[in-house]
Structures are given as C-alpha cells and as structure tokens.
Structure 1
Amino acid sequence: MAEPDLTTAEARSAMLAQYGLEGKPLSSASDSAKMTKVLIELFEKLALGSGSDADPKKATMLFSAATKLRAQVEPELKEMIMAAVTDGRIASTGRLELAIALANKRSMTAQPEPAVTPEWFDDYIGVGVQVSAEEISRLVHETLRENEDEIKEKRYRYPSGSLVRTVLGKNRLAENETVLAEINKQIEQMLGPKTEADLAPVDPKAAKKAAKEKKKKNPEDSTLQRNGATDQERGGAGQAAEADPSEIAPGIPSSFEARHLDIMKNTPELLAAYKSAERTGGCSVMTRFPPEPNGHLHIGHAKAMFLDFGYARREGGKCYLRFDDTNPETEKQEYIDSIIDTVRWLGHEPDYITYSSDYFDELFALAEKLIKKGLAYVCHQSSEDIAKGRETMTDSPWRDRPAEESLRLFHDMANGKFEESAASLRMKIDMKHDNTVMRDPIAYRIKYVAHPRSGEKWCVYPSYDYTHCLVDSLEWITHSLCTLEFEVRRDSYYWLIAALDMYRPFVWEFARLTLEGTVVSKRKLLALVNSGRVRGWDDPRMPTLLGLRRRGYTPSAINEFCSQTGYSRNANVIGLHKLEHVLRSEFDERCPRAMCVTRPLEIEISNFDESASLLKVPIHPKMPEMGERDVQLTRQVFIERSDFRDTDEKGYYGLAPGKTAMLRYAYPITVTNVIRSDEGEVVRLVALCDYAKSVKPKGVLHWVSCTSKPCEVRLYDRLFKSADPGALGGEDIWEDLNDSSEVVLDEALVDEFAGNCNVGDSFQFERVGYFTCDQDSDSNRKVFNLTVTLKDGRK
C-alpha cells in the first residue's frame, strides 16, 4: 500500500474522513500528521470499514481509545479494547470509558491482577449484558432514598454527579447518560417542578452564613471522622489515613472570586462540549492537583490537596492527580511514587492519575495549529537576549517570520536539527503588555534529555506556561485552583486557550501556606539534604509531608489544620503552634499513656515488698473503655535525673535528701541515702516506700522499673531560629540553623507497654510529651521521636 499523503491538514482530514471520523475528533486528529498516521495504521490493522462501509461511531470510539489510553497500558489489553470496539462488543461510550479506566488503572501497578484473559475482559466490560431500565430505576430510587434528607434540603442544587457515581458504584455496567436521565426524572418526581427559589442565583454570603449555622448545630459535621487506629492489644495509635477531606467542608470556600477577563467566558458550544465529554461523567466540578515530580511534597501541598480533592468531593465531582512532568532533567520515578503514596496517605483518592507527558502528541499538534494561525514563531535569541527584550519591550528579530517558515523550523527543532540553545518556539502575544508574562512567552524549548516516560521520542518539550492551561482544558477541568504567585499568568493562561478556541476552566488563586520557622523551597530543602544537615527528605524536622509523617503527624491532624487555616487571597504567616495545637488536641483524646525516663537515675527501694509490686494502670485516664495495663514495681526503679536535687527549695516538688514524692500509680517514697561516684556525681538513690500511703506529697514522678527496655529518644525543636528563614539568602540561611533542633538521648528507658510497639505507634510519655515510634527501631531497641510537646511552649 502506498504511503498516504499527510503533508497538509486537508489531505489528512480527507484520509481520516474515509473511515467515518467526523466533527471535533476529525479536526483534532487531522491537525497532527503523527496522530493521523497512528489512526490510519490502527484503522487498517483492525480492518475498519471505509467509504460507504465507514462507521462514524466506531471511528470516533477508536480515536477516543487511542488518545486516552496511557502508553504504559498492557499491549494485550489495549488490543482487546480496540478489537472489542471494532467487533461491537463495546458499543457505547460508557462501556468504552469503563475499559479505558480499567486499563489505565492497571498500568499504574507493577504487577496488575488478575492476569488478562479474553473471558475475564468480556466479563468485566459486560459483553452481552444490558442493564434494564427497571434495574437502573431501582438503583436510582435506592440512592435517592439514601440521600433523601439532604436532597430535600438542597433541592435542585444537590450535586447530581455524586448520585451518578454512587449508582455506577453499585453497577458499573449502567450507562452514565441513562443513569443521569433517570436521576433527573426521579428527583423531579420527589421535589416537584422547580420553584423561583430553585432558579434564583446562589447568594455566596447567605450560603456561607448557612454553613456556619449548620456547623454550630452539628459540630461533628465539621470534624474528621477517625477510625479506630488504636491497636487493641497495646493501645498504640497507628497512622492509617483517617479522614475523607470532604467531611471538613467548612474549611473550603463556598464561592470563588477572581480578576475577570473577557476571554474567560465559554461559548455555548464549548459548554455543550463539556457536558457531552465522556470523562466528566455528568459531574459539574472537575479539579486537579498538579505537582511537578522533582521533589517530595511539603506542608503547602497538603493545603492545595485539601482544596482540590475536598472541593471536588463536596460537590460530587472528580479530581485528577496530574504530574506536571515537562522537565525531564529534574524528574524522577522516586518522586512520582512518593507523591502517589503521600496523596493516598492523606486520605485522597484520585479519580484519574495522569501526566502532562500523556498529552505530548496533542500539545505538539496544538503548537502546529498556533503557528499556522500566526500566533507562534520560532525564535533564535538566547535566553539572555529574550529576557532583555522583555525588559525593554523589544520585538524579537524573528517575530514576523512567515508561518510556513516557523512551522518548518519547528519540525526541524523536533527532528533534532538544532542545538539546545539555538531555537525556541514563542507565543506571539504582546511585547508591549504591562504584564511581562504576556511578552511572547516560550512554548517549546529544545532539550536533548530522555524523558522518564516517553524515552527519547522527543527532544522538544513544552513549557509550563504552554502546557498547564492546555492540559487543564483537555482534561475538562472546571476549577483550576492555584497559589497566588500564578496570578500573573492568568492573562497568558486564557490568551492561549482562547487563541485555540478551547474550553476555558475557571482559575482561582489563593494565598500559599507559609508556616512560621520553615522553608518550602525545593532548592533549599535539597541543599539541606545534600549537605547532610538533616537525615534526609523524611527527617522529622523537615516541612515535607514525609518528615511530618515520620515525626508522627497524622493525616487527620494535617487535614484539620488545612481546614482551620482556610483559603483567602491574603498572604500571611501561620504560626507553627497552630499545627501543633491541632495534633496535641487529637493525641490528648486518643493516645495511650506510657512512661519513659530519658535521663535515668536509679533508685533502690530498701524495704521492697514483692506482694505489693503488681499495679493496674489505666491505658488512658479519660477513656476507661481502653482498658488497663499491668505495671511491675521492682526493687530498682528509675526516675528522671532532673527529678532529684541535692538541696530542696520552695516550689520544687521532686526528690531531695529526706524528701518524699509519689511514684505515679504506685506509692510515696522518701530518699534515705545518696550514693555518689568518686567525682561526686549522684549515681544511685536509696529510698523507703510508704506502702500505707500515710502521706500525700505534692510531687508526682514518672518512673520505670528494672524490667523496662532501653530505647533512644530524639527530642526535636525548630530547624531554624528565625520566624521566616525563607527570606534569608546566601549563607545567612545556614547560620540561622538551630544547633539544638535535634537532641539524641540514647540511654533512655521505656516501660514494657510502649517497648513492644510497632513503627508509627504514638504515645503520651507522661510528663514528657507525645512520641512516635521511628522507622530506625528494631526488635531489640526502639527509637522514639518527640512528635509534639504536652503544652504550648510559647512564652
């Protein structure tokens, strides 16, 4: 067969039209020679009819599968999907979306199960199975009854997307459109015709006030639902993801207001395209969390995640986890794996996991289209000259070159005919614009670096300014939520998608989370790690979510903190004590109590009575349902060295020669002798035990017996001394490091109750603080990190 003529868009369009491709898919595919070639090869391989035998529906569905299936999908599964579309086993967009979602999900797992077989595949996609109208009606009726009270309260403002997802969760083979139509029908039967109030626009202030009133009446609605993560045998507090962020809706804005641009508005045609898009599934809200995989997530990302995932869940929508992987020089699989794990640890479950690189073909085709419209050009200026030109508002010498020439040169860039700095593709916007971002930003640059996902297929990579808005549009994002430093990019964001006549998401910027005493700059955090000043990205002093997790912070505490800080456009620094307060409040309620002596001093009880040695101690004094534990009083016990002084004084409640204090949960003891070393250091005390408890001393001391276990205790404080170390430059930031931010006590003793814990278990060490078992622990010796102090230490 002769090679088809793919040199012009018209020729490509005519070729694809023979197979029945039409409308927007035809226009989109014919814009790219590569995509056209891929589709023609696919159609020929599947023997898809052409001419009078063409099947537009099958052609469109195959186009959808070809563009949506990830490159990593199992080849045999991809072939099964294409074959099923061709032979009619997949005959609807709903079943196709089901198959695509299955394939993409399996592609994110190293060893997906079960193994792919034709029988398993046909069963999953429901070959020969038709969900009856009666069954759909029953499922919808059941779902509406489950949510009846809230539906009647919100009426037609109740998010129908969440109802669709619930029904599909009960029967995956039901069709979105059929389910949505049945929901609309039954809701109207339940509520009656829409009233004037239903049709009236929402008053944001009134909605906010109503939410506050509801919170007052039902405070539990605004708090995290915690699972029983406590180990029933030990009472250790585990760290499973404990909350659905949508449960903390009061922390999320009820409305969004931002700087208006005329080109923000979608046309009726674009809105109709959104409503008919397969991926939206009838949802009115689509959000995304788009980290760049060049580092580990930090506390600021937690706030962004809480909004992106929480808002979508609250509104019955969907949220993407999208990796902005357009810079192959800095991205690593290590970071991708860490980000996915951290997102899920915080309780968020993405509806889709995608990568900007999934859209490289589409982005390249859109760049070609932009060039043809005279809205982009190939420039040969150096980065220094480009920066200078923007500063002086001077046009590039190549700004007005013919579109045909720029298109040819752009292809030369993609084919490796230029050195890295010899050419770039720039958007042709306005070099005189007040906003410097609008002064012809770069769309593509040359990088001879293999991409972690696409390998060496590309040597040109799209910029953030070019990629971000286009992928938002391609993924039908309704709310593009980002931090305020991106506000200046609002103009270029909307210019580009308007220039290509694409769907416009709504962009809203909020103030980033700046936590007192921390830095979140990836460059500075990387320098900390590489210099050996911290133990790694997960050092408990680091503001990374890995560090907070290792220190003992829980998903519920972090999410609650994000809820309490709220979202606004006013930048401010949040005190670290607020984050600590949230965790302290949670730990006070649920952490089992234990005793640990960090700097031990031995006491010998000279009148030790074996018969009075077994003590029953509550696991949590405020929660009797947690039960009791056994504590053994032995002849030798250990107290904190700081709880003994040679000289007694007013206001001191510890031990001194001849002074009495209470051993927590046991008996009063009185020091009768002090044993010293040759150097005069106190090495041991001798004491009498008052088994009759004839006196009630004010001082109560924590202690451990001689059956306690050796452990290492790490006391943590702020990594930096100043409140805003991020503002420091050069070597000043290193001089601001707190030398006492980590104190290791390697001769500590912990009671057997906590000594038998697992990594991640948290306890209150009485009179000391809240501690979490660290990953450096082994079966012989536990390591405990100070997670948070018992009280706010601010002066």
Structure 2
Amino acid sequence: MEVKEEESSGTPLDLFLKIGLDERTARNTIANNKVTNNLTAVIHEAGVTEGCNRTIGNLLYMVATKYPANALIHRPTLLGYIVSTKIKTPAQLEAAFSFLSSTASESFELKEFEEACGVGVEVSEEDIEQTVNEVFKQNKGLILELRYRINGDLFGHVRKRLPWADPKIVKKLIDAKLYELLGERTAADNEKPSKQKKEKPAKVEDKKVADENPVPPSEDLNPFLIFPNPEENFKVHTEVFFSDRPVLRCCNTKEVLDKHLKRTSGKVYTRFPPEPNGYLHIGHAKAMFVSFGLAKERGGCCYLRYDDTNPEAEKKEYIDHIEEIVEWMGWKPFKITYTSDYFQELYELAVELIRRGHAYVDHQTPEEIKEYREKKMDSPWRDRPIAESLKLFEEMRRGMIEEGKATLRMKQDMRSDNGNMYDLIAYRIKFTPHPHSGDKWCIYPSYDYAHCIVDSLEDVTHSLCTLEFETRRASYYWLLHVLDLYQPYVWEYSRLNVTNTVMSKRKLNFLVTNKHVDGWDDPRLMTLAGLKRRGVTSTAINAFVRGIGITRSDCSTIRLERLEYHIREELNRTAPRTMVVLQPLKVVVTNLESGLVMDLDAKKWPDASTEDSSAFYKVPFSRVVYIEQSDFRMKDSKDYYGLAPGKSVLLRYAFPIKCTEVVLADDNKSIVEIRAEYDPSKKTKPKGVIHWVAEPSREVDPLSVEVRLFDKLFNSENPAEHEDWLSDVNPQSKVVISGAYAVPSLRDAAMGDRFQFERLGYFVVDKDSTPERLVFNRTVTLRDSYGKSGK
C-alpha cells in the first residue's frame, strides 16, 4: 500500500505503520488525539521507533488503549516482556493488565507476575489436540444438534482449559474436527439463528391487542450485567475509549477502596437523586429503573436523595409527590436523604478545599465569568492568598456579603478542552430560607460541588446518570481526588425521550402554569402522575423501560406506540371487558314485549373458562337498546359491516337484529330512532358484530357517564425542535363526551378501576368522578401500531 511521502516521513502515521498497523487503523488512531499521544509514548518507551513485527505492534496498541492508569509505574516492565516476546498473546496481556492494576503502586515479585501471565508456558500442538478431542467427546450431542453454530462455544471451552494456547492453532484444530464430524457446511449452517417470538395466545373474536407484535428479545436479557462489582472500583482504567471519544473512569487506591468495602460490606449502593422542583416524568422512570433496579438485582441498597441545593425552586408539594411516585413505581428506598442533610460536611470540605489551594472567593459577575470562560482567561481573583479566601468565605457564610457579590469557585483547569473544568462555582450566596434546613444557611452549594461529594459520603458504588452529564465526569473525579475522597463508579446512559411530547421541566411547567393542560397530572402529559391518572400501570412503564435497555446510544427517542404496546400487553390480561356507547343512537326492537328485560351473560374475560362464573357479568337486554351512531348508515356498501336499512347485524352477546324502519326528525335529516326486529333463534348469521347498551326498563334510564378521549398532545414527533412549539399542540388531544351510556354493572366502579370498553379501547375511572356521575379516561386505543411504525 502506497503512502504519500509527505504524510509518512517522521509523523505519528509513519510510526504506526512501522509497528505493523494497517493504514486504516493507523489513520483512525490519528483522528483521536488521546490515543495518538498514548501510542506514540508507548512506542518510544518500548524502543521500537524503527519498527517491529505486527504481533508486537498489536500488543503495543492494546497497551496504549487499555493499560490501567493506576499502574503506570510498571508499564516499562510490561513493554520489555512484550518486545522480548515473553508475552506474545492478547490473553497473556489481559492477564498482565489485571495483575498490574491490582498491585497499583506496590512492588511485586517478577516470578508471581510471570506465573499470572503464563510467561514461559509452552503449550504444544499435541496438548491442544488432546484437549480439543476431550471437549468434542464431552459435547458431542450438543455439537450434532447445533452443528457449526457451536463453534465459538467450543473455542471458549478449550481456551478455559489452556489459556496460554496459541489461538490460531486452537481454531485450526476445532475447524478440522468439526469438518471431520459434520462434513461440509450446509446452507442452514450459514443462516443466522431466528429470533424466538413469544407464544401468541389463542385468537379471540374482536381481540385487537399487541400480542401479534412480540417484544424485542433484548427485554428478556439482564440489562444490569454491564456494571462491575464494587470491589472492581480500583481496576477500572482512567480512560476507556468509546466509539468517538475517551471518558474518565474512577481509580481508587487500594487503601481507600478497602475502607469503603468495609463500611458497605461489599454491597452495591446506588442513588436516585431528583430535584424537588417539578413533577417526575417518564424519563425519571428510566432513571429509577436503572438505579433502584441495579441495587435490587445485586441485593444492594438505593437511596432516594433529594438534590435540594436551590431553595428558590423547591416546594414541599414536589417532595411529597416524588416520594409517592417512587412508591407507586414499585421501588422501596433504602433510606430517604437530602443533599441539605450534608450542608455542614459540605461547608467543612469547602474550607478544606480552600486550605489545599484548590478554591478561591471570586467577585466576577455572571457575565464576566461567562466571558472569561469563553476566552479561557483566569479570574483576577484566582491567585488571591488562601488566608484571604478563607476570611471572605467565612463572611459569606455569616451573611456579611451581599447576594451576587461573591462566589466560591474551584481552582481547576482554565486551559482544558472541557468547559466543565473552567473553575466551576462551588458556593453562591442566597438569602432565601430552605424548605428542609430552614434559615440556617445563606450560602448554598452548587450541583457540581455537592453531587459527587454526597455520592462519596453515602458510599455510593455506582453513580448512574444520563449522557448530558458525561462532560462533568472530569470535575466530578477532580474534586474527589483533590479532597482524597472515595470515588464511585460513574456511568452515563442515554436519556429517555418519547415522541409527540415534551420532557423539559421548563416546558412542562409552562404548559401547567399557563393552563394549556389541566395540571401536572393531566393525562396527556408524560409525567408519571399524568400516566397514572390516564390508567397506565407502573408495571407497564417498567416493562417498557426494561425493553429499551441501558445503553450509551444517544438516539433514544422512542415512538409513543412502543409504550402503548406495553400498556395493551398488561391491560389485555387484567382489565375486564364491558360495553359503553359513546354517541348513542336509539334502536327500538319492535318484536320484543315492552317492559320485558332479559339478563344475558356477557364475558368479562375473553380467555377465561366458560365454567368460571366470575368470567361473566349480566347485561340487561330490553325493547330499547342504544348503538353507536357510527354503526348505522342510510346507504349500505360491501365493505361496511354495521347496520343499514334492510340489513342485519349481531348485537354482541345477544341476538341478530334487522333494521326495518328509520324514524327521522321533522327536518328529514337527523335520525330520531331506528326500528328493528330481533331473531331469538339466532339463525340469522350476519357478518357485522356491534356493541350496545340497553335501557333496563321504561322507569330507569341507561347509566350516563362522561368519557374523556385523550390523544397525542402534539402533532409532530419532536415538538421541541420547533421554535413556536406551542403551535404544534393537537387541538383534538382531549375530547370530552358527556352523554355516553354504560351497562349498569359499571355503576359501582371506583376511582382507578380499569376496563376494556369493547371496540373502543382501555379506560380508567378518573378522580373527578362523583357518586352521581362517573368519569372515564381513555388510557389507550385497542389498535396497535408498534412493530409496524418504527422503534
């Protein structure tokens, strides 16, 4: 491969090609400054600037990208073993990383190191062949069943027994043995295994639910396997390279980690840290699932910690709401704490930070701070004497300095490429009483200062947050490092966004405050209170979140239909069926005796046994029934299965009826009533089946209820992209029907009871209901589009 002379002479690219990297890998490496610097240093340190073979070069590349930063003192020793080919395989190198990271700054015996890395261990081809034969003998039945699809498992079995065996020889012998046993590969062997679908329930008439759209297989996997155990919080590299950038990872000393493990008994500790400045939304459901779920899965503990560092935005209402919603979502906190519980410790650590020369009192205005940060310029007060900053900080605490006239800033790195290292504010003055701590303090810590310290004080093992906080890792670990505090494992995941809604607390607050919706629990909002009021269950939300998984992919806008799929999945199993008519049209059954009422059996649970009496409820059938206006037309057509003049339909659970007459109003336009005859023998077999509600007797009217039909709050999938996002509000997002008729059995329904209104959707009794009038909210329609319309 030809390389241009001007690119190859004396450049990093030249070095990387000399050690055997292919040109594509070499050029991709150069695109990442951090890897380029690491690999260049490793090549010089190993003394191979004039080149080496490709095997050694690949191992050097592994050292540049994966070497544990807490053991840099031992890197020259390892490079010597690589260049001398004493360590010659990736397996040996991984073993070396593990050994060196556990010794960190300690000295070690070379004999122990060599034993741990398999130095000098020669595995003959005969040894490998014998082991391959044993593995094949023990797994013959499975091999014959899975054929060539088992190849990777066999390789793993052999490597487990012979970790230092040459992987190329292992693969060659396994391939030969498979060919000997199975012969040539078939077309079926080359096919990817089909994904198993969930078993579909038996087909039920009129059943329009999500069973036909199986849940993605990822939902059956354990999403928490990606997280390390607490005792590994010293092994993690300082930098791990993802697809496009390196991110910082914690690196505790053995002494700090040992003390932490003693305090926690090695348990997992997580925290869910909401700000009490608004209602929780569905994005918080994912945050709860990640933090509470990991603790539960590992037998650990999860704090509910209120991040209450801004007294101006916080309310008791929000605190009470959060606690209620966490419980409703099925999570039980190990302990409820507040950042304000630690105000004294945070203050004392701020004083210590000043004493160590890592913080100073600053007098710049917010505008000046912004300007200086943009220009990467130091504050004029950055180098003021420590004693002076201590004095001024004490005056800030005692309320002797006006609000806005001073802040405490961390002395970080104003030349960094990361703006979150530009001397972040640690404390500001606010003469505002705090809802939890009262008027004891007039200085309050910032999120950037308090969050990581309280994580450490609470011995959190896994500090989990969304991706927008990734750039704050640098300041998070910088602060814990300069204060010599225990460092939790930080991991960011993609935040959850759902189409056709807004998730910003600012926008949600605007909608509520300006009465575009009916409060924080309006069923059109993706607040958890709104979803609860809409009839969505917490288990359906958790199933939805689990199915999305815990990834770092930052394209996590999920179609609303996917959430609706999980809602239908559950309500189809749990919500009893009943009949309600939204727009009643009167039908008089002329061949039924006036005043006669027949109690018919209607099925609550379509999949229940007919011998189970609890699976039925009584529906009165009388001379007068009501059908949906949309189920009648004056003109029939082939593709129409409703009622029309001279046409028959089946009243569900009752009898076929045939339209014999249409009574019109005086204007000859609007319909007053339909007259029909019923066939008690049920010999008529019409194609159409419609629902209905009867008038029990001439003295008693049908049960009248209010029904609220909710739809997507915004017309477009991502309303936040529009500058005038309010113009995108769907005017039909809420339709109130005040004159709907329901079967009498619904009279005793209580708030929160859920039902499937046949052919209409799933509904829940709303809190606005009174003893005189029931109100139902539509949770979701029957029709499902998940699996047809996107992710």
Assess same fold via TM > 0.5: yes
Instruction: Give structure 1 stretches of 5+ with no counterpart.
Output: 1-195, 201-215, 221-246
Q: Percent identity?
A: 51
After the TM superposition, which residues 584-595 of structure 1 pair with which residues of structure 2 at under 5 Å, given as runs? Answer: 584-595=568-579
CA distance in 2, matches of 1:603, 1:570: 57
Contact in 1 for aligned 2:596/2:623 (Cα 8 Å): no
Contact 1:345 1:555 in 2 (8 A): yes
Check the 8 A contact 1:263/1:495 in 2, yes or no: no
Deviation at 1:248, TM superposition (A): 7.6
Which of 695, 707, 731 is 1:739 aligned to?
731
Q: Deviations over 1:540-576 (max 9, x none)?
A: 0001000000001001100000110001111221111
- Equivalent of residue 709 in structure 1, options 703, 712, 728: 703
Task: Work out whether 1:692 is the aligned partner of 2:678.
Answer: no
Please say if 1:307 is aligned against 2:290.
Answer: yes
Tell whether 2:660 aligns with 1:660.
no
Which one of the candidate residues 597, 600, 625 is aligned to 1:637? 625
1:559 alignment partner, SS class: helix
What SS does structure 2 have at the residue aligned with 1:264?
coil
Q: Is the 8 A contact 1:445 1:462 kept in 2?
A: yes
Q: Give the alignment partner of residue 789 of structure 1, picking from 770, 781, 791.
A: 781
1:602 aligns with 2:569: no
1:254 aligns with 2:226: yes
Give the 3-state SS of the residue equivalent to 1:312 in structure 2: helix
Report the counterpart of residue 602 of structure 2 in structure 1.
617
| 1:577–1:792 Cα contact (<8 Å) kept | yes
Tell me the amino acid that sits aligned with residue 738 of structure 1: N
What is the CA deviation profile of residues 645-682 of structure 1, one whole-angstrom value per residue up to 9, with x for unaligned ones? 11111111111111111110000111111112122200
Retained in 2: the 8 A contact 1:637–1:703? yes
SS, match of residue 705 in structure 2: strand
Is the alpha carbon distance of 1:263 and 1:253 closer, same or farther for their aligned partners in structure 2, counting shifts above 3 Å? closer
| Pairing 1:268–2:254 present | yes
1:678 aligns with 2:672: no
SS at match of 2:518: coil
Q: Secondary structure, in 3 states, of the residue corresponding to 2:756? A: strand
Question: Residue 720 of structure 2 aligns with which residue?
Answer: 726
Residues 1:779 and 2:751 aligned together: no
Deviation at 1:608, TM superposition (A): 1.1
Superposed displacement of residue 684, structure 1: 0.9
- Any conservation in 2 of the 1:263–1:498 contact (CA below 8 Å)? no
Q: Does the C-alpha gap of structure 1 residues 684 and 217 become closer, same or farther in structure 2, counting only changes over 3 Å?
A: closer
SS at match of 1:747: strand
Amino acid at match of 1:686: R
The one of 291, 310, 314 aligned to 1:327: 310
For the pair 1:341 / 2:324, whether they are aligned, the reply is: yes
Contact 1:251–1:565 (Cα < 8 Å) also in 2: no
Aligned pairs (5 A) from 1:515-530 = 515-530=498-513
1:571-614 per-residue CA deviation (whole Å, 9 max, x = no partner) reads 22111100000111111122110000000011111111477712
Query: For residues 413-438 of structure 1, what are the alpha-carbon distances to aligned partners after superposition, in whole Å with 9 as ceiling and x for unaligned?
Result: 11111111100000001111110110
Contact 1:249 1:310 in 2 (8 A): no
Cα separation, partners in 2 of 1:546 and 1:685, compared to 1, 3 Å: same
TM-score, length-scaled by structure 1: 0.67
Given that residues 283 and 316 in structure 1 are in contact (C-alpha distance below 8 angstroms), is that contact kept between their aligned partners in structure 2? no
Contact kept, 8 Å, 2:597 with 2:620, in 1: the verdict is: no
Residue aligned with 2:382, SS: coil
Q: Is the Cα contact below 8 Å between 1:251 and 1:562 reproduced in 2? A: no
Tell me, in whole angstroms, the C-alpha distance in 1 between the residues paired with 2:356 and 2:722.
46
Maintained 8 Å contact 1:248/1:560? no
Instruction: Compute the displacement of 1:792 (Å).
Output: 1.9
Q: CA deviation at 1:518?
A: 1.3
Distance 1:429 1:388 in 2: 17
Q: Is the 8 A contact 2:249 2:489 kept in 1?
A: no
Distance 2:473 2:515 in 1: 39
Distance 2:160 2:262 in 1: 28
Bigger mean CA deviation after superposition, 247-256 or 360-369:
247-256
Alignment of 1:178-257 (within 5 A): 250-255=222-227
What does the per-residue CA deviation read over 1:329-372, in whole Å, with 9 as the maximum and x for residues that have no partner? 00001001000000010100000100000000000000000000
Q: Distance in 2 between matches of 1:630 and 1:271?
A: 66
Q: Deviation at 1:249?
A: 6.6
- Structure 1 residue 751 displacement after superposition: 0.9
Q: 8 Å contact 2:250–2:487 — kept in the other structure? A: yes
1:453 to 411, 432, 436: 436
Alignment RMSD (CA, Å): 2.1
Match of 1:159 in 2: none
User: Which residue matches 1:21?
Assistant: none
Matched with 1:126 is none
Superposition deviation, residue 755 in structure 1: 3.1
Q: Which one is further off, 321-330 or 745-754?
A: 745-754
Structure 1 residues 218 and 681: CA distance shift in structure 2, 3 A: closer
Report the secondary structure of 1:650's partner residue.
coil
Shift of residue 635 of structure 1?
1.3
Question: Within 1, Cα distance between the matches of 2:758 and 2:454?
Answer: 53
2:389 maps to amino acid: S
After superposition, where does 1:170-185 map in structure 2 within 5 Å? none
Equivalences, count: 553
Contact 2:655 2:682 in 1 (8 A): yes
1:514-553 aligned at under 5 Å gives the runs: 514-553=497-536
Whether the aligned pair in 2 keeps the contact of 1:283 and 1:317 (CA below 8 Å) is: no
Corresponding residue number in structure 1 for 2:83? none
- 2:657 — aligned with what? 669
| Matching residue's letter, 1:471 | V
Question: Matched residue of 1:455: which SS?
Answer: coil
How big is each residue's C-alpha offset from its partner over 1:292-321, in whole Å with a ceiling of 9 and x where there is no partner? 000010000000100101111111111000
2:663, 2:503 → 1: CA distance?
51
Shift of 1:449: 0.5
* Contact 1:363–1:467 (Cα < 8 Å) also in 2: yes
Take 1:661 and 1:423, find their aligned partners in 2: how far apart are those partners?
79
Gaps of 5+ in 2: 1-158, 164-194, 200-218, 229-235, 241-246, 697-701
Cα displacement string for residues 185-239 of structure 1 (whole angstroms, at most 9, x for unaligned residues): xxxxxxxxxxx999x9xxxxxxxxxxxxxxx99999xxxxxxxxxxxxxxxxxxx
Report matched runs for 1:325-474 at 5 Å.
325-474=308-457
Q: Partner letter of residue 452 of structure 2?
A: C
Asked whether the 8 Å contact 2:597–2:622 carries over to 1, the reply is no
Q: CA–CA distance in 2 between the matches of 1:612 and 1:275?
A: 73
- CA distance change for structure 1 residues 547 and 695 in 2, over 3 Å: closer, same or farther? same
2:608 is aligned with what amino acid?
M
SS of 1:404 mapped into structure 2: helix
Rg bigger for which structure? Answer: 2
2:680 corresponds to which letter in structure 1? Y
Does residue 486 (structure 1) correspond to residue 469 (structure 2)? The answer is yes
